[in-house]
Each structure stands twice: as structure tokens, then as C-alpha cells.
């Protein structure tokens, strides 16, 4: 996810830049004031709690605000990320947001500080007041707002500066120049992070060959359990003998064998832009393990893709493959093919459903020539400008 906190004093141009970023990156806009007004208007339980506090002259607590934000994020997982306008406003809220991001298996990509001299802010807002008729756009009120912004915001900016994700932009420039600088910051931050893809599909869907091609195109490390397990078999190790026996029976290789191999692969990879995982995770347990392994590298899943192919076509493809030198152990009989497809339905489909709730799985029609399916996958990935 691309998660941005956009900061700046009144008159810095946050609204203009927000509109552009939301459109260009398909971000969901989060302003605590807007969200609170929505909860109040809809009469939700959180809204009613806030109404009572406001009616008594109090300030809505962080506890209520964070629940509203968490609820909003959970309801908008189709977005590529979130744009936080004016949140967090305090250091405590910064810690809250960090915890919330971790809970949602993501993080704040960057905080962009639209920096503008006080004189420019005053001039812009006074001019806006002349055309808009807003009563709060007079110099006395503006100076008070600027003072309040400075007092509350400086500690938050320092918090994110210490984390290395705060970036200043000269917002006294033209709108186009400011936007150019903002986009450059986002590009740089995205390139710092590992881009990790999980590619799903039933056996016979082509996920292996497509995964390798995608890895080559985007400079990703291809991580597939199959080749790693086969290497153990070729080397004639004791572990390889266990794996071969499991293959012969059509059983899945257990986690105590697979996970250490995956972890070793991640640890030994150097100077990679990210990983593409094929054949892992196959179970809900493995999905939690993968998240933990990636977290060790300060990374998370960036994109989940599923190649869809009808069942009869899968059986035809696997039967055809069984007659070639590309035959897999579970291709050797119709019974084993059916068993493997059933295991995918029972164990892996729930993983895909879980990821669809958290990340929105991108579905790809696998009923076409290799190059056509490949381009469909590329079209899903390329908007990120890898």
C-alpha cells in the first residue's frame, strides 16, 4: 500500500495536491474532520459517542478517532493506499497510527511537509477570503491558525524525521512544480521498499512459467517451493528422500521442511527489488508465516495475483503435461491430479479469500496464449512504475 501523510500550514495547497494524488494513485482520502462529520450524520455508535462529548464541550478522544480511522480503512481495501490529511496532529497520534499500520500489515510510506513562509500563507488566505467570502480568512484569525499549527505540528514532523520518512517540499512554488517534487518523493520512497508479489492459481494454471517471466521483467527474486524441494531430491539428501516419498503419495510437503528453505532464500538474497512467491503460502498457517518472514526484512506483501482457469481445462493441461519431461510427481495419474486440485480448493482458496479482504486479489483470466496472459499481469503491476 502507498500511505501518505500530507502536512502543511493553512494556505500551503494541501487540498490541491491531495486531489491530484488521490486520482493518480487511487488513494482513499482520510481527514479526521470529514470522517467525524460522516459518523455524526449517519448516527453510528462511534458518532453518537462523539456527539455526547462535543455537546458537553469536550474534545473527541484519540480512542474514538482511531476507531473511526481503522473502520474506514477496513471498509476501503480496494484503494491502493490512504492519504492522511492533517493526521496525526500529535506525537501520541503518530504512535497510534504506527500501531494501526502494523495491525493492518502496512506502514506509512512517507510524510510530505508542504513548507511555505508565513507571509505567503497569509497572502494566499486573505486573497481566498476576498473571493470565497469565508469569515475565517482574515489576517488575525489566520495568524492564530498558523500559530496553532506550528505549536502542534513541529513535534510530529520531528517524529517522522527521526524515522527517515519526512520530506520537505517548497510549497511557495507553482502548483505544477510542487506536484512534480511530491511525485519524485513518492517514487524514491517506493523504490526503497521491497516489492513482493504472491501469485496464485490452481496446478496447471501457468503460475510457475508466468511467475518466472514476471520476475525477469521486473527484476524480482523468484521464490518457488518446487525447485527448492527438487534440488534437495537431486542432491540425494536425507531431506530429499523425505520429500520424494511425500511426492509419491501426492501429499503436501509439511511446513517444517518448507519454511526453513524459504527463510534461507530470503536471507541470502542481496540487492533485490523484491520477491515473487509461487507455491507459498498454500495454507492459512503459511500465510501468517510469510507475513512474519517479510516483517523481518521490514517488508510486506505488495500485490496478490490469481490466475483463473476452468477446472476441466486444468485437468486437460495437467494430463498433457504428464506425457512430457515437464511432468510433476502429482501429474502421474488422474487420481493424483484430482487430489491435488481438491487440496488447492480446501487449503489454498481460503488463503486467497483472506488476501482478498486485506489486499484485494487481482484476478487474471488464464485462458489465452502465454504472451496474452503475461501482458494482463504486467498491466496490473506496471501502474506502480517498478
Q: Which of 144, 159, 192 is the last residue of a domain?
A: 192
The per-residue pLDDT for 375 is 96
Q: Do 247 and 176 fall into the same domain?
A: no
Q: Do 33 and 120 fall into the same domain?
A: yes
Distances (CA, A) of 149 to 7, 81, 154, 295: 10, 26, 8, 35
Q: Do 339 and 288 fall into the same domain?
A: yes
Cell numbers placing 257? 521442511
Q: pLDDT tens digit string along 272-331?
A: 889 999 989 999 999 999 988 888 877 888 899 999 999 999 999 988 888 887 777 666
Q: Do 159 and 224 fall into the same domain?
A: no
Is there a contact between 173 and 284 (Cβ–Cβ < 8 Å)?
A: no
Q: Do 319 and 372 fall into the same domain?
A: yes
Q: Which of 173, 192, 211 is the last residue of a domain?
A: 192
Q: pLDDT tens digit string along 83-102?
A: 998 789 888 889 988 888 88
Q: Do 203 and 185 fall into the same domain?
A: no
Task: Please tell me the total count of domains within the chain.
Answer: 2
Q: Do 166 and 287 fall into the same domain?
A: no
Is there a contact between 51 and 40 (Cβ–Cβ < 8 Å)?
A: yes
- Report the candidate in 197, 194, 188 with the shortest Cα–Cα distance to residue 269: 194
- Report the candidate in 292, 358, 272 with the shortest Cα–Cα distance to residue 79: 358
The per-residue pLDDT for 226 is 84
In which domain, by residue range, is 251 found?
A: 197-384
Model pTM?
0.58
Q: Do 91 and 14 fall into the same domain?
A: yes
Q: Which of 141, 172, 192 is the last residue of a domain?
A: 192
Q: Do 47 and 116 fall into the same domain?
A: yes
At 85, which CATH number?
3.40.50.300
Is there a contact between 330 and 273 (Cβ–Cβ < 8 Å)?
A: no
The per-residue pLDDT for 385 is 46
Q: Do 359 and 373 fall into the same domain?
A: yes
Residues of the chain with pLDDT under 70: 105, 132-137, 250, 329-332, 383-386
Q: Do 141 and 208 fall into the same domain?
A: no
Q: Do 80 and 97 fall into the same domain?
A: yes
The per-residue pLDDT for 134 is 61
Amino acid at each position: 500500500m502507498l500511505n501518505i501523510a500530507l502536512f502543511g500550514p493553512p494556505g500551503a495547497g494541501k487540498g490541491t495536491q491531495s486531489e491530484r494524488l488521490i486520482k493518480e494513485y487511487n488513494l482513499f482520502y482520510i481527514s479526521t474532520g470529514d470522517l467525524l462529520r460522516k459518523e455524526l450524520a449517519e448516527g453510528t455508535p462511534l458518532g453518537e459517542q462523539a456527539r455526547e462529548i462535543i455537546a458537553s464541550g469536550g474534545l473527541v478522544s484519540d480512542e474514538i478517532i482511531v476507531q473511526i480511522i481503522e473502520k474506514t480503512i477496513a471498509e476501503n481495501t480496494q484503494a491502493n493506499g490512504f492519504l492522511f490529511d492533517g493526521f496525526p496532529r500529535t506525537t501520541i497520534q503518530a504512535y497510534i497510527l504506527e500501531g494501526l499500520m502494523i495491525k493492518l500489515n502496512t506502514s506509512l510510506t512517507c510524510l510530505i511537509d508542504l513548507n511555505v513562509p508565513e507571509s505567503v500563507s497569509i497572502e494566499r488566505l486573505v486573497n481566498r477570503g476576498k473571493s470565497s467570502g469565508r469569515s475565517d480568512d482574515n489576517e488575525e484569525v489566520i495568524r492564530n491558525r498558523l500559530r496553532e499549527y506550528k505549536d502542534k505540528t513541529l513535534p510530529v514532523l520531528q517524529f517522522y524525521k527521526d524515522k527517515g520518512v519526512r520530506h520537505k517540499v517548497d510549497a511557495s512554488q507553482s502548483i505544477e512544480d510542487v506536484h512534480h517534487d511530491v511525485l519524485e518523493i513518492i517514487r524514491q520512497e517506493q523504490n526503497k521498499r521491497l516489492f513482493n508479489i504472491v501469485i496464485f492459481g490452481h496446478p496447471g494454471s501457468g503460475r510457475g512459467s508466468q511467475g518466472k517471466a514476471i520476475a525477469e521483467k521486473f527484476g524480482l527474486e523468484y521464490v518457488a517451493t518446487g525447485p527448492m524441494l527438487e534440488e534437495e531430491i537431486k542432491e540425494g539428501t536425507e531431506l530429499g528422500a523425505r520429500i520424494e516419498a511425500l511426492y509419491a503419495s501426492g501429499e503436501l510437503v509439511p511446513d517444517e521442511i518448507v519454511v526453513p528453505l524459504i527463510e534461507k532464500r530470503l536471507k541470502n538474497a542481496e540487492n533485490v527489488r523484491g520477491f515473487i512467491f509461487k507455491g507459498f503460502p498454500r495454507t492459512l498457517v503459511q500465510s501468517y508465516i510469510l507475513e512474519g518472514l517479510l516483517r523481518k526484512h521490514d517488508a510486506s506483501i505488495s500485490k496478490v495475483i490469481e490466475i483463473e482457469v476452468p477446472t476441466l481445462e486444468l485437468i486437460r493441461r495437467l494430463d498433457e503435461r504428464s506425457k512430457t519431461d515437464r511432468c510433476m510427481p502429482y501429474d502421474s495419474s488422474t487420481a493424483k491430479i484430482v487430489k491435488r486440485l481438491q487440496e488447492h480448493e480446501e487449503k489454498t482458496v481460503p488463503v486467497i479469500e483472506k488476501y482478498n479482504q486485506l489486499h484485494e486479489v487481482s484476478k487474471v483470466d488464464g485462458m489465452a496464449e502465454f504472451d496474452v496472459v503475461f501482458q494482463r499481469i504486467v498491466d496490473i503491476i506496471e501502474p506502480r512504475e517498478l
